[in-house]
Amino acid sequence: MAGMAMGPLKENFQKLLDDARLQLAHPDALLHLAVVGLLTGLAAGGIIVLFRLAVEGVQGMMLPGGAPENYEALSGWWRLLLPLAGGVLIGWIFRWNKGDDNVLGVTKVLERMAYHQGRMSWRSVMLQFAGAATAIIAGHSVGREGPHVYLGAASGSLLGQHLKLPHNAIRTLVACGSAAGIAASFNTPLAGVIFSLEVIMLEYTVASFIPVILAAVSATMLSNAVFGSEPAFRAVFETMSLAEMPLVLLLGLAAGTLSALFNHLVENIAQQSQRQPFWLRTALAGLLLGIFGVLVPQVMGIGYDTVNAALNGSLAFSLLLIILTAKLLATSTAIGLGIPGGMIGPALFMGAMLGGLVAMLGDYLPFGAVVSSPAFYVLIGMGAMMGASLQAPLAALAAMMELSYHPDIIMPGMLAIVVAGLVSKRGFNKDSLFIAMLRANGMDYDTNPVLQAMRRVGVASKMRRNFARTRGNLSRAEAILLLKDEPGWLVIENEQAARYLMPAVDLARYMEESDTDEIELEQIPAQRYQLTAIHLQATLQEAMDKLEQSGAEAIYVEQPTSPGASRIRGILTRGHIESAYRL
């Protein structure tokens, strides 16, 4: 009896799921996107919490005093050998890799969005988790937010794939997971939302905002429940004077120049080292970081303790300059040689050191004495460096606001971020770090607005369902029966597959003009479109690509029903696709 009762329940659930998939093929399915966005945020928050617990737990047991960032207390030999061992171990972890997962973090998310409709695999998740955790524990000069973004994005992707959602919905879930990653990294949900829309999705729509916001909020709540709600950085400062605006402008110019140099070093090191085996690159990165760690131990690890020291104004000018130079070289080497980890954290670190330097320079420049505390310039330097390096000004401004909880920082922060972005982009012709890394690995990232519009829409939302299937030859009585339901299109099939498409009106016109009893659909005067197949999950962009690659003129949308079997759910011509994205 129980089995009999479960049968209808399973059928009803499957019907609801099928209806939800069709709804999610529309770019404005707000309610359905909100639900899966919330689920993605919880899943992403869970795996990010697990990652942080694993990393900080090992650091607490390994480092003196149990402090996760206390690499400075290690002896010189340990600071040399620990990163080297980490680089060798990372090369060993990736030894089974076929080469497609050596680019990780946010760069990998962009690559999957550009070339694979946001689809990710469990294998790459395991590699990212193990590789990035090893890198951070070993003290490499990388951040945790890159792995967080990737793990969050992968959570959304795997959830969408498990539910067999259309690819446009999977892309939205990837954006939801990315927002969750940034939000949980710094306790900055608003910055996470804007980063996801500005860098990952490249769009601002209501349908994008709602699920991404829910994902960021749910991930932040989960992270706060485990680690508390304290911000990553602690800053208290006085309101600035307008007389200090020239100094803020100078900071923006310096941050733009530094970010361009950072991007240039990362890109060139990555390009020059591509021909070397991955294990050799990570081992070399470990050795070089070990040398930097011996000389300037503050460059090891994520470095939030050093950033907080700069915010408090407790670092001397010469030390700030040494740390900044060493961090620039150490991070460029680590990222360029393939150490898995984030680039946002190091950019914030370098911006903090630069801000501290400019604050101290203010007393010796003709602009007048600095009224604000060093923390003011440190925070602005962090935002300017992040915005210019990533070419994400709004995300950088939001992060700066959430980290400071001080509205007076908005206006000078906007000036510094815009100036820094212009200097890096227009003055030195540098794209974001993520795009630079994609190009260094032989890939490109097309932000064509037409492609973006087509990626937002699933074929299921635009396919025509008013079609009938028929064989190529039929009697007049069969033709009359075929046209009885007034289909718009006829899918002509043989024993193997659908062969071509024709308007039903052409058959109706022929029957009016002829009284023949046997009709050969291949012989009558009519428009005919060569057909190719595409999956129900595909986007309009995938459909257009399929037409270009196959040389066909129309597509039939199929849904697998069992292994080796499928059914046709709808049809699309090139004209249907073009009219859909022009609206």
State residue 305's pLDDT score.
86
**Beta-bridge partners for 469:** 491
Q: How far is CA 390 from CA 27, 47, 179, 180, 183, in A?
A: 27, 25, 15, 18, 17
3-state secondary structure of 273: helix
258, 321 contact by CB (below 8 A):
no
3-state secondary structure of 233: coil
CB atoms near residue 53 (< 10 Å): 12
**Which CATH number does 458-582 carry?**
3.10.580.10
Cα dihedral value 472, 477, 483, 489, nearest 10: 0
Tell me, what amino acid is at 240?
Answer: M
Tell me, yes or no, if the two domains 242-279+286-440 and 458-582 fold the same way. no
User: Smallest Cα–Cα separation from 382: which of 371, 406, 398, 365?
Assistant: 398
Per-residue pLDDT of the chain (583 residues; tens, 9 = 90+): 445 555 666 677 677 877 888 888 887 788 889 999 999 999 999 999 999 999 999 998 998 887 778 898 899 999 999 999 999 999 998 876 655 556 678 888 988 888 888 899 998 899 999 999 999 999 999 998 899 999 999 999 999 999 999 999 999 999 999 999 999 888 889 999 999 999 998 877 777 889 999 999 999 999 999 998 876 676 666 666 777 888 899 999 999 999 999 999 999 999 898 888 999 999 999 999 999 999 999 999 888 889 988 988 889 999 999 999 999 999 999 999 999 988 999 999 999 999 999 988 877 766 555 667 788 899 999 999 999 999 999 999 998 888 877 778 889 999 999 999 999 999 999 988 888 888 877 777 766 777 777 888 899 988 999 999 888 888 988 889 999 889 999 998 876 667 789 999 999 999 888 888 888 888 888 898 999 999 999 999 899 999 999 889 899 999 887 777 788 899 998 888 887 666 5
Tell me, what amino acid is at 258?
Answer: L
Tell me, what amino acid is at 325?
Answer: T
Residue ranges of domains in the chain: 26-233, 242-279+286-440, 458-582
The CATH homologous superfamily for domain 242-279+286-440 is: Clc chloride channel (1.10.3080.10)
Instruction: Could you list the beta-strand ranges (E) of 467-553.
Output: 467-471, 473-475, 489-493, 498-503, 518-520, 529-535
pTM to 2 decimals? 0.89
State residue 1's pLDDT score.
46
What's the per-residue H, E or C state across 241-272?
A: CHHHHHHHHHHHHHHHHHHHHHHHHHHHHHHH
3-state secondary structure of 300: coil
Give the Cα separation of 139 and 484 in Å (integer): 73
Q: Topology of 26-233 in CATH?
A: Clc chloride channel (1.10.3080)
Write the DSSP string, 428-464: S----HHHHHHHHTT------HHHHHHHTSBHHHH-B
Residue 139 corresponds to which tokens in the numbers above?
């003290």
Write the DSSP string, 303-317: -HHHHHHHHTT-S-H
From edge to edge, which strands make up the β-sheet containing 529-535? 467-471, 489-493, 498-503, 529-535, 554-562, 565-573
331, 141 contact by CB (below 8 A):
yes
Tell me, what amino acid is at 87?
Answer: G
Residue 233 corresponds to which tokens in the numbers above?
């950085």
State residue 496's pLDDT score.
65
State residue 150's pLDDT score.
95
Query: Phi and psi at residue 464, in whole multiples of 5°?
Result: -90, 130
Query: Phi and psi at residue 417, in whole multiples of 5°?
Result: -65, -45
502, 528 contact by CB (below 8 A):
yes
3-state secondary structure of 75: coil
206-261 pLDDT tens trace? 778 899 999 999 999 999 999 988 766 766 666 667 778 888 999 999 999 999 99
Give the Cα separation of 267 and 433 in Å (integer): 8
